[in-house]
Chain A
């Protein structure tokens, strides 16, 4: 009997749990540890943040499903890793702390044979002074709770505009090296759509603030896409979207601090500037959760498992090298920890070898550029290949690791909603293939130009809407869920 422990029930962790229970005999023990018992379809938070969906429509309780699947669920947060056990417990284990009201603070040691660390990012609001959502005029859409608060705040601003008061909306990135620009891009377009739908545009100024070197970078160094007889860069695509909507932008900006009405940032020219605002939704920096790891003698081996950012080391090439020497071969394929092969980290939990966009530094030495994104589709695929490799390992007794999914070889699709409605909605369907440009294979454009695209239109909204229901159907483990791809 094998014990498989999964930390995190987000896109990567839940996908891995679903495939493991499907592929393994019931005599094996699968345990999922997560601080909340709900699964949330994060991409639809955008619609919660503009009042088009309620949190109930985008989340569900995992416990009945895990019961049906024979998975143990523990509502707790992982804290310390003991990959060799300790003086008392000979096998590897994780120390967790319960998060339920009744058992809050209670600790437990959970032993494992295989560990999947799919704990995603720590939303590092503290890294930017004043950024925490709920502070005055600051919102976030990173969780359904945040998105719900964002909608309340947005409504207050809509009311003020109804009364003729001008409001400034600033949306974008809230840390000099933040990622997830796509989510903020989606939110600004939806906010703008909702303002215009109410005829309030003359009372609104909508501004995009970003750490990207150019718009449309999205942390992937931008992309080349075929458009109107040309192959053009996503810079033009993103700028065109904004110009069409009268949204202005501030780029190359590293946000350092916010107070109730002003955003303080530094730009790549080294200038320290301010931007007034009445409503801000800025994506925080992402970090690891600050886990600690110890060997069997109790010595701290955190650096063996985690990089300084707190994310987990996997089969990536972490050698420091200049941007010009970066290659797709630096990117991991199996998400296996090199020191402890029975530990895996799919999704945002793994430490990327470097960013995808070129690192930039201001004249004052501040790093201002987008970190590498790891969106839903790649995170789901990583969760699946991790499950497939563990299933093979358990069944054959050999760690063949034949299932692989590198961001340098896989593509990703992201539907950027820009307004809700079956006939009035719109969204840009964006695909990149591969996610990390492969300049050796595609010397002109870095990616396969036939499957890398950006296309705005009503069809994109239908796709986004369909995906919402399809992915929740899959996550709920409804009949034939496994036929729906990640």
Chain B
């Protein structure tokens, strides 16, 4: 069977981190993402307001 090593042959594609199931779950979890939505909005606003005078 083809494995990651055979497919990528030690090329650049062999090395990067890949998200595990928990990370993938959090990326799709509606509850977690609602919280992140507000945090991300807050961070963007912070950058924006400080960005010009």
Contacts and interface: CB of A to CB of B under 8 A. Distances in A.
Contacts of A240: 16-19
Given A381-B51, A459-B36, A431 B43 contact: yes
Contacts of B10: none
19 contacts: A239-B12, A240-B16, A240-B18, A240-B19, A242-B16, A243-B16, A384-B52, A402-B53, A404-B52, A409-B51, A410-B47, A411-B47, A412-B47, A451-B47, A455-B40, A456-B27, A462-B33, A463-B37, A463-B40
A455 B16 contact: no
A244 interface: yes
Interface string A423-459: 1001001010100000000000000000101011111
Interface residues of A, number: 40
Contacts of B12: 239, 249, 251
B27 A413 contact: no
Interface in B7-51: 12-13, 15-19, 26-30, 33-34, 36-37, 40-41, 43-51
B48 A411 contact: yes
A403 interface: yes
A470 B27 CA distance: 24
A273 interface: no
Q: Is the interface of B mostly helix, strand, loop or mixed?
A: helix
Given A249-B12, A458-B29, 17 more contacts: A239-B16, A243-B16, A244-B19, A249-B13, A381-B51, A403-B52, A410-B51, A413-B44, A426-B28, A429-B44, A457-B27, A457-B28, A458-B33, A460-B40, A463-B37, A463-B44, A485-B48
Interface of B: 12-13, 15-19, 26-30, 33-34, 36-37, 40-41, 43-53
Contacts of A459: 33-34, 36-37, 40
Contacts of A242: 13, 16
Contacts of A239: 12-13, 15-16
A384 B48 CA distance: 13
A38 to B, nearest CB: 26
A309 B50 CA distance: 31
What are the 8 closest A-B residue pairs judged by CB atoms, nearest first? A410-B51, A411-B47, A239-B16, A405-B52, A459-B37, A459-B33, A457-B27, A458-B33
Contact of A426 (B27, B49, B53): B27
Given A377-B48, A409-B51, A431-B43, A458 B30 contact: yes
B45 A385 contact: no
A433 B46 CA distance: 10
Contacts of B33: 457-459, 462
Given A249-B12, A458-B27, A381 B18 contact: no
Among the interface residues B29, B34, B53, which one has the most CB atoms of the partner chain A within 10 A? B53
Nearest to B43: A451
Contacts of A385: 52
A485 B45 contact: yes
